[in-house]
Structure 1
């Protein structure tokens, strides 16, 4: 279990690095946009399309990392008000629901990837599918992160040990 958790931590780190690189490229391209518009008097028109594409990857990769690190938006008031046994059960159910959502998101997004492969993004001349690919990646990552956490919770529940939460202080 520890090896798998370590591999998931590395995968999460790689996602965060990729999202960070996308953010740096986004800032740099907007710097070029401002320079081109106000200094060269020639606005680079491709920046907007690239920005939309990069925002998809930044958002979706960040969301998947949030699921892994347990820092995603969650309303825990009712779950925490319950007793220990009910709370453990609810956390398991939440992880299963998240994994199911991730799987559905991945499958629906794969259809979008296949559908948009023949359409090109304006100004960038790359397939529209690259935009949908970010959602498919996020869905797959959410499925893996939440699904394996559900499996680990279940194993710990069977063995009578507490599951150590990520991101919980």
Structure 2
């Protein structure tokens, strides 16, 4: 069962990375276009800035869940690392449970935000519901919760990028 859950989380992680990387690439394309139209063509396009904000929301919530899975987030672990091993394990469980509370908060209140704003539209994108733009909050919270469950019951997944202890300049 653990191997099946790990494979499912690997697939979810890959989906989060693809979504986050795509959002980052699109942000990197949209912003220069906005600068070009504003300063070169002297006729600013209205859509690049709100699109960049929407993509940033997507990158933040979905990409953060992927980063959390592989422990790539910022953390201050100096004092925790000084504790004896059994205490470190207990502290890690407490941290995971607190993160699960944050993930549940994102799911519950994010879903409520989506529900409340579903009928509103964005001025620059009248075909797009405001609720859709907030969907990354509960979706990211759900992904985060799945990754926390994986950490608590199976452990931190192995790093998909192999690293060596010595530097190679070949």
Q: How far is the alpha carbon of 1:139 from its aligned partner?
A: 0.9
Q: How far is the alpha carbon of 1:145 from its aligned partner?
A: 0.6
CA separation of 1:15/1:164 partners in 2, compared to 1, >3 Å: closer, same or farther?
closer
2:96 touches 2:148 (CA, 8 Å); kept in 1?
A: yes
Does residue 140 of structure 2 align to residue 132 of structure 1? no
1:141 alignment partner, one of 140, 143, 148: 143
TM-score for both structures, normalised by structure 1: 0.84
Does residue 59 of structure 2 align to residue 78 of structure 1? no
Question: Within 5 Å, which residues of 2 pair with 1:1-169?
Answer: 1-125=2-126, 126-152=128-154, 163=155, 166=158
- The Cα offsets for residues 112-161 of structure 1, whole Å up to 9 and x where unpaired, read as 00000111112012111122211111111111111231122xxxxxxxxx
- Give the 3-state SS of the residue equivalent to 1:73 in structure 2: coil
Distance, in Å, in 2 between the alignment partners of 1:165 and 1:86 is 21
TM-score for both structures, normalised by structure 2: 0.84
Q: List runs of 5+ in structure 2 lacking aligned partners.
A: 164-170
Distance, in Å, in 2 between the alignment partners of 1:101 and 1:148 is 16
Higher strand share: 2
Q: List runs of 5+ in structure 1 lacking aligned partners.
A: 153-162
1:70 touches 1:166 (CA, 8 Å); kept in 2?
A: no
How many equivalent residue pairs? 158
Runs of at least 4 residues off by over 2 Å = 34-42, 163-167
Distance, in Å, in 1 between the alignment partners of 2:12 and 2:106 is 19
Distance, in Å, in 1 between the alignment partners of 2:46 and 2:35 is 11
Higher helix share: 1
1:16 touches 1:62 (CA, 8 Å); kept in 2?
A: yes
Q: How far is the alpha carbon of 1:165 from its aligned partner?
A: 5.9
Q: CA RMSD, aligned part only?
A: 1.8
